[in-house]
Amino acid sequence: MGYRTITVGINKLLLDRTNARHDAMDNEPEIIAQLLRKEKAGEVARSIAEAGALNPLERIGVVAHPALKGSYIVVEGNRRVCALKMLHDPDKAPDSFKKKVLDYKAKGQEIPARIEVVLFDSEEDAEPWISMRHRGEDGGKGLRPWDVNAKARHAEKVGGSTANQLAAGLVDHALKTGLITGEEHQEVPVTTLTRYLGNPIFRHTLGLASNKELELDVPQDEFNTALKVFLQDSLPKSLTGIDPKVHSRSKAADWKSYAKELSTHGHAPKTRLPKAVPLKSPRMSAAKAAPRLSNPDKRGSVVTTGFRHSFTSDHILSRLFRELRSIDANEHSFAAAYLLRAFIERLAKLYAKRHRLGMEGDLHNVIDRCVKHLETHSTLEGKALKSALQPLKGMVSDRYSRTSPDSLGSWIHGSSVPTRAEINRRWDTLEPGLHLLAKGLL
pLDDT number for residue 25: 64
Distance CA 375, CA 392 (A): 12
CA angle 29, 31, 37 (to 5 degrees): 100
> Quick check: 51 pLDDT over 90?
no
Residues listed for the chain? 442
> Quick check: 26 pLDDT over 80?
no
pLDDT number for residue 14: 93
Per-residue pLDDT, averaged over 407-428, amounts to 74
Q: What does each C-alpha distance from 15 to 10, 71, 135, 168, 206 come to in angstroms?
A: 11, 11, 21, 41, 55
CB 111 within 8 A of CB 87: yes
Higher pLDDT: 305 or 220? It is 220
List, edge to edge, every strand of the sheet that includes 114-120: 3-9, 114-120, 60-64, 72-76, 13-14
pLDDT number for residue 292: 41
Percent of the chain with pLDDT strictly greater than 90 = 38
Closest CA to 166 of 202, 205, 197, 209: 197
pLDDT number for residue 295: 65
Of the chain, the end-to-end C-alpha distance in Å amounts to 59
pLDDT number for residue 413: 63
CB 402 within 8 A of CB 315: no
The full set of domain ranges for the chain reads: 3-140, 148-278, 303-439
pLDDT number for residue 143: 61
Specify the range with the lowest mean pLDDT, choosing from 127-136, 159-168, 330-339.
159-168
CB 302 within 8 A of CB 321: no
Closest CA to 277 of 220, 200, 194: 220
- Give the number of other Cβ atoms within 10 Å of residue 109's Cβ: 12
CB 71 within 8 A of CB 129: no
> Quick check: 310 pLDDT over 90?
no
Per-residue pLDDT, averaged over 6-21, amounts to 86
- For residue 152, what pLDDT band results from cuts at 50, 70 and 90? low
Closest CA to 115 of 13, 27, 21, 257: 13
Sequential DSSP letters for 61-106: EEEE-SSSTT-EEEEE-HHHHHHHHHHH-GGGS-HHHHHHHHHHHH
- For residue range 173-209, what is the model confidence (pLDDT) as tens digits? 998 888 998 778 778 888 889 889 999 999 999 999 9
Per-residue pLDDT, averaged over 34-63, amounts to 89
pLDDT number for residue 328: 86
Any residues with CB less than 8 A from the CB of 274 and at least 6 apart, and which? none
Per-residue pLDDT, averaged over 343-372, amounts to 90
> Quick check: 296 pLDDT over 80?
no
pLDDT number for residue 223: 95
| Residues β-bridged to residue 115 | 8
Distance CA 385, CA 378 (A): 8
Instruction: Name the average pLDDT for the chain.
Output: 83
- For residue range 348-359, what is the model confidence (pLDDT) as tens digits? 999 999 999 988
Per-residue pLDDT, averaged over 373-377, amounts to 90
Per-residue pLDDT, averaged over 79-89, amounts to 93
> Quick check: 236 pLDDT over 70?
yes
pLDDT number for residue 429: 86
Higher pLDDT: 131 or 188? It is 188
CATH number for 3-140 (one of 3.90.1530, 3.30.70, 3.40.50, 3.30.310): it is 3.90.1530
Q: Which residues of 173-185 are buried (b: 16+ CB within 10 A; e: fewer)?
A: bbbbbebbbbbbb
- For residue 293, what pLDDT band results from cuts at 50, 70 and 90? very low
pLDDT number for residue 421: 80
- For residue 222, what pLDDT band results from cuts at 50, 70 and 90? very high
- Give the number of other Cβ atoms within 10 Å of residue 59's Cβ: 16
Cα dihedral value 336, 339, 344, 347, nearest 10: -140
Q: To which H or E segment does residue 9 belong? A: strand 3-9
Distance CA 250, CA 198 (A): 12
Q: What is the DSSP letter of 208?
A: B
Closest CA to 300 of 387, 421, 162, 408: 421
Per-residue pLDDT, averaged over 336-357, amounts to 92
Per-residue pLDDT, averaged over 89-107, amounts to 90
| Residues β-bridged to residue 6 | 117
CB 439 within 8 A of CB 373: no
Specify the range with the lowest mean pLDDT, choosing from 131-135, 141-145, 235-239.
141-145
Left, alpha or beta for 418 (phi > 0: left; psi -120 to 50: alpha)?
beta
Higher pLDDT: 424 or 229? It is 229
- Give the number of other Cβ atoms within 10 Å of residue 311's Cβ: 19
Distance CA 192, CA 234 (A): 8
